């Protein structure tokens, strides 16, 4: 089960090297859930200066972020690509996909590095990308799929880091080391539950309090765009079933796979331990299965598992905070890799 290689990176860019200099960063889409988390993290980051925070529209009225008072007391301005390109060395995009596709390319043309939280640049196959992200006609040069723990060597030279989706982050961190070790066989089933913030800030009937409180609902079966992303990286068929649960944040994924003949629990443990021996934000819990409350408001992904050797069945349970490890936290982790910093900077 081979792993698809990320796109080649452009290694011509280096971060500022003047002693004491801070890298200038900006956020476009700062009023959404992930965008506000980005502002909170970057405002306190020891190696960067947050020079601008902008909304998702060019006509938006300036507004503060009251929840971040005394952390960041700036004002969210209207979206302005020219200002982003002059005021920042690295720009985070927490925009809707169509806007990210346009703004991301415009910034690359102005030699600005981009870290994108949308799905606009995740899919490499043209036909699949046109189905799920039609605003992205073609991928620009230097795009790297930004799964921090597994693609750091490419992220360091990326022009544009395309951060994985929240659901794929948990699934791929759980499965890619096992696939690389040749331990998996057959179809993968990912049964995932997400808090409501994963649906974004724009309200809908599905995210209405009265529709969600006291209920759990499956959605997007055989039609969720994250399926293409997971299948791209694993290069195998995946049955992905997302569910909406009445929590504000957090994801729990229960993953069911079959193991190749002769695979033992020790093989599974060894593959995961080897992959994440030096990973500061992946915590392996073995047979003690993790829970959402263990990772809420952190950048950790906790992974536990159970193996039935007699039937060659493996169940993996992964949990993460969809707004941090599944979005803003992983984006800042990728910034740290891009700048050659300790991955934990600004996150622990």
Question: How does pLDDT run across 115-168, given as a tens digit for each residue?
Answer: 999 999 999 999 999 999 999 999 999 999 999 999 999 999 999 999 999 999
Place of tokens 């599905």: 206
Predicted TM-score (pTM) of the model is: 0.92
- Count Cα neighbours of 41 within 13 Å in the Cβ-side half-sphere: 32
Residue ranges, the chain, pLDDT below 70:
1-20, 201
163 is known as an active-site residue: no
Per-residue model confidence (pLDDT) at position 16? 57
C-alpha distance from residue 80 to each of 52, 97, 107, 211, 318 (Å): 10, 17, 11, 37, 38
C-alpha distance from residue 335 to each of 210, 267, 271, 299 (Å): 38, 33, 27, 14
- DSSP helix/strand/coil, 34: helix
Per-residue model confidence (pLDDT) at position 222? 94
Annotated active-site residue in 163, 166, 210, 301: 166
Per-residue model confidence (pLDDT) at position 11? 42
Per-residue model confidence (pLDDT) at position 268? 98
Per-residue model confidence (pLDDT) at position 14? 62
Per-residue model confidence (pLDDT) at position 207? 75
Place of tokens 């046109």: 130
Per-residue model confidence (pLDDT) at position 198? 76
Per-residue model confidence (pLDDT) at position 263? 97
């Amino acid at each position: 089960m081979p792993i698809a290689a990320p796109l080649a990176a452009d290694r011509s860019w280096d971060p500022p090297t003047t002693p004491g200099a801070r890298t200038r960063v900006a956020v476009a889409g700062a009023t959404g859930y992930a965008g506000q988390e980005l502002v909170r993290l970057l405002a306190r980051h020891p190696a960067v200066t947050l020079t601008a925070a902008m909304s998702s529209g060019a006509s938006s009225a300036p507004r503060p972020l009251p929840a971040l008072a005394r952390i960041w007391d700036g004002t969210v301005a209207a979206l302005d690509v020219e200002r982003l390109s002059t005021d920042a060395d690295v720009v985070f995009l927490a925009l809707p996909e169509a806007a990210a596709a346009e703004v991301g390319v415009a910034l690359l043309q102005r030699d600005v590095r981009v870290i994108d939280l949308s799905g606009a640049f995740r899919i490499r196959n043209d036909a699949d990308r046109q189905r799920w992200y039609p605003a992205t006609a073609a991928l620009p040069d230097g795009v790297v799929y930004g799964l921090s723990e597994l693609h750091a060597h490419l992220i360091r030279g990326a022009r544009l880091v395309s951060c994985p989706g929240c659901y794929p982050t948990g699934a791929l961190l759980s499965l890619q080391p096992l696939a690389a070790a040749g331990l998996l066989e057959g179809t993968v089933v990912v049964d995932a539950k997400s808090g409501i913030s994963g649906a974004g800030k724009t309200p809908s009937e599905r995210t209405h309090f009265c529709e969600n409180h006291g209920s759990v609902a499956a959605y997007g079966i055989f039609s969720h765009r994250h399926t293409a992303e997971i299948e791209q990286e694993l290069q195998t068929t995946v049955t992905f079933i997302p569910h909406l649960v009445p929590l504000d944040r957090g994801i729990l994924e229960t993953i069911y796979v079959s193991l190749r003949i002769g695979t033992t629990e020790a093989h599974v443990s060894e593959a995961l331990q080897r992959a994440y021996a030096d990973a500061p934000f992946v915590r392996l819990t073995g047979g003690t299965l993790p829970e959402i409350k263990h990772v809420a408001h952190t950048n950790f992904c906790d992974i536990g598992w159970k193996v039935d050797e007699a039937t060659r069945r493996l169940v993996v349970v992964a949990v993460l905070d969809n707004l941090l490890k599944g979005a803003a936290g992983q984006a800042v982790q990728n910034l740290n890799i891009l700048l050659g910093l300790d991955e934990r900077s600004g996150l622990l």
